[in-house]
Structure 1
Amino acid sequence: MEAHPEESTIDTHLQQRRSPRQLKTRRARQVALAALILLLATVCSGIPGVIGTAGAAILPWLGLGLLAVLLTAALLARRVIVLTLVPVLVWVLAMAPSLPGLPVAGTEGTTPITVASQNVRAQSGGAAASAADLAGNGADVIALTELDGESLAAAGETLAGDYPYSFAVGTVAIWSMYPIADVEPLFLGLGWKRALRVEVQTPTTPLAVYVLHAASVRPGHQQDRDTMLAGLADAVAADPAAALIAVGDFNATSADPALSAIRAQADWVRPTDGTLGFTWPAAFPLARIDQVFVRGLSVLSSTTIRAGNSDHLATVTSITP
């Protein structure tokens, strides 16, 4: 049957009226789907194991995606804007323990101690330069990780004059302006040593210092790292020291569930320079994998700096009892 011209005109007008509504519905669904995906990615950052490690690595950057989704909803899909606030809230809660802090003033009569730490990258030839740079920034205690024999000797020669007290084991070492006592290599659940504990005799109080070079994380292989982090948490829990700091390359981003055990025993040191304290890679930092934890101490300031030619930035933290 042949359609009447009037009916064709009516159908065309109906399609034109429906199209904007259908476009808005399609946009709303797309925004809602994007919000759901980002919500799931955020939730995954709290799952122990490989999923949580991967999720924690991208967690800070999910904020950019959520901001884009929120703006898109406000401009093009207001009907789902409340829905997009859910993943934003979950992200804020997940990121809260890793957000920057504020510097504080020291207490009169106490001596601030500055502890610097850096992974100097084995066979880079830059350990001496890193050591010199950290010393030049006023560090009282310098901890270096991923040292080989040559870089250990080079750093030691550079620091020998101003830092007469030192201890090294495996791939980690520490130099101090103040006397060191009770030196101890740590296995942390493994059959090889990549951590140490010493007691630095500061003018104010003895300071227990842990230096860690955690095992690397590769797809399907992170058990050694998790074992070391759990071992560090156990060691800190059993340590009777009133003042304690743990520094080094943890190979775990700030929100990694593998850090939950050590977080329960010591305070994660927040960067006080207004950043998230990303340390790797040095050329364009994307993640903070070099961590600082304290117990029984006040953090005056904590920041990151470039030192030597390492692929890691150094952490520099000023503390006081």
Structure 2
Amino acid sequence: MAQQAYMTETDNGDSGPERPGSRLRRLGHGLFDGWRGDPGIWRRGIVLAVLGLLLALVMLVHSRIPNRLGNLGSLTETFLPWVGVAIPVLLVLAVVRRSATALIALLLPAIVWLNLFGGLLTDKSGGSGGDLMVATHNVNADNPDPAATAADVAGSGAQVLALEELPASALPVYEKALAPTYKYHAVVGTVGLWSKYPMTDVQAVDIKLGWQRAMRATVATPEGSVAVYVAHMPSVRVKVEAGFTARQRDKSADALGEAIADEPLKRVVLLGDLNGTMNDRSLNAVTSQLRSTQGAAGSGFGFSWPASFPMARIDQIMVKGVEPESSWTLPRTGSDHLPVAARVKM
């Protein structure tokens, strides 16, 4: 077979094979030729440098951004990983502007972002091990095909499955579709829990809404009992006059945190749509007690909402007293959320 070679012009005018990296070197020369000896590289790009430093500042002090004005702090924390998208954009602009000042300044936000989120870029999964697989899914009250959604999540292999936003009209459809896979189930208000193992002590959890959107049950797995909580926190809203509003969600999160703090069992699993990320300070009453399976054993950010273009992980699996082994998102269903799943070692 004839070997194809890229050709370059040699010193004597002949063509020869292009050496590896020569294209990159030519590109680098094209971009940076003229920088040497140009005093303007330190004066240009001051605005870009300032923007880079502001990005770093936002990431460093995000917990101090006040919530008094439209819950700006929680909004920032919900989408904090996306701040990093601005860094490569500013880097390109710095190169185009031929600004050494901007390039150096942009090192700071890059380092801060990697320190905050770099660990999520690696696969921390322990493989397919674990004694118990759990999953949770906000199925969306307006889901056009609840039977197909039920079949999808039942096929995930989860031994314990939580569903949120169950409308009364579609509940019989979910119950019928899940019955062949799960022998035990309980529904409280608009949330439900399906299990292959026996469930006892099923009760509503008061999250200060006036109606039922959280529950707790004891699941008797072969490795021992575990308290499983299912919760659907109130939705956050973005309003013109009030900004990012989440007061009721925050109040409910505090109530859920109190219930979990009073839990007598040592093994606890929380499944549900919390309408907030692990970075959101308003969920501290919950997140301070439990570990995120995605943060401990997931691969990537595990964004779950919106399903059409996931930008935040507001659907959570959190645990204490058990060890996360792996965590991931499941394929899209007819909902506007992605299902999420995890394996834990009892």
Measured against the shorter chain, the TM-score band is 0.7 to 0.9
Aligned to 2:213: 194
Q: Does 1:294 align with 2:312?
A: no
- Where does structure 2 lack aligned partners over 5 or more consecutive residues? 1-37
Q: Does 1:103 align with 2:121?
A: no
Corresponding residue to 1:57 among 78, 96, 121: 78
- Offset of 1:289 from its aligned partner? 0.9
Corresponding residue to 2:235 among 216, 220, 226: 216
| Residue deviations 1:53-108 (CA, integer Å, cap 9, x gap) | 2112331111121233345556732234443233333334444686665122688x
Q: TM-score, normalised by structure 1?
A: 0.84
Tell me which amino acid in the other structure corresponds to 2:75: A
Q: Which has the higher helix share?
A: 1
- Offset of 1:250 from its aligned partner? 0.6
Q: Does 1:77 align with 2:99?
A: yes
Provide the aligned length of Structure 1 versus Structure 2.
Answer: 298
- Distance in 2 between the 1:24 and 1:228 partners? 52
Cα distance change, pair 23–90 in 1 and its aligned pair in 2 (3 A): closer
- Distance in 2 between the 1:275 and 1:90 partners? 18
Query: 3-state SS of the aligned residue for 2:44?
Result: helix
Deviates more, 1:151-160 or 1:125-134: 125-134
Q: Does 1:254 align with 2:281?
A: no
- Offset of 1:210 from its aligned partner? 0.7
CA contact under 8 A between 1:282 and 1:306: conserved in structure 2?
Answer: no
Corresponding residue to 2:268 among 219, 229, 244: 244
Query: 3-state SS of the aligned residue for 1:270?
Result: helix
Tell me which amino acid in the other structure corresponds to 1:159: L
Corresponding residue to 1:279 among 304, 309, 322: 304
CA contact under 8 A between 2:43 and 2:101: conserved in structure 1?
Answer: no
- Offset of 1:188 from its aligned partner? 1.6
Aligned to 1:26: 44
Cα distance change, pair 148–280 in 1 and its aligned pair in 2 (3 A): same
- Offset of 1:21 from its aligned partner? 4.3
- Offset of 1:113 from its aligned partner? 1.1
Tell me which amino acid in the other structure corresponds to 2:83: L
Q: Does 1:112 align with 2:136?
A: no
- Offset of 1:283 from its aligned partner? 1.4
Alignment root-mean-square deviation, CA:
2.4
Identical amino acids, percent of aligned pairs: 35
| Residue deviations 1:246-279 (CA, integer Å, cap 9, x gap) | 0111111232112222221111122645320010
Query: 3-state SS of the aligned residue for 1:285?
Result: coil
Q: Does 1:230 align with 2:254?
A: yes
| Residue deviations 1:135-190 (CA, integer Å, cap 9, x gap) | 11211111100110122211111112221211111210011111101111012233
- Distance in 2 between the 1:97 and 1:87 partners? 16
Aligned to 2:152: 133
Q: Does 1:308 align with 2:333?
A: yes
- Distance in 1 between the 2:196 and 2:314 partners? 26
Q: Where do 1:146-157 residues align within 5 Å?
A: 146-157=165-176
Cα distance change, pair 99–170 in 1 and its aligned pair in 2 (3 A): farther
- Distance in 2 between the 1:195 and 1:23 partners? 59
Cα distance change, pair 175–100 in 1 and its aligned pair in 2 (3 A): farther
| Residue deviations 1:277-297 (CA, integer Å, cap 9, x gap) | 010111111111101110011
CA contact under 8 A between 1:173 and 1:211: conserved in structure 2?
Answer: yes
- Offset of 1:206 from its aligned partner? 0.4
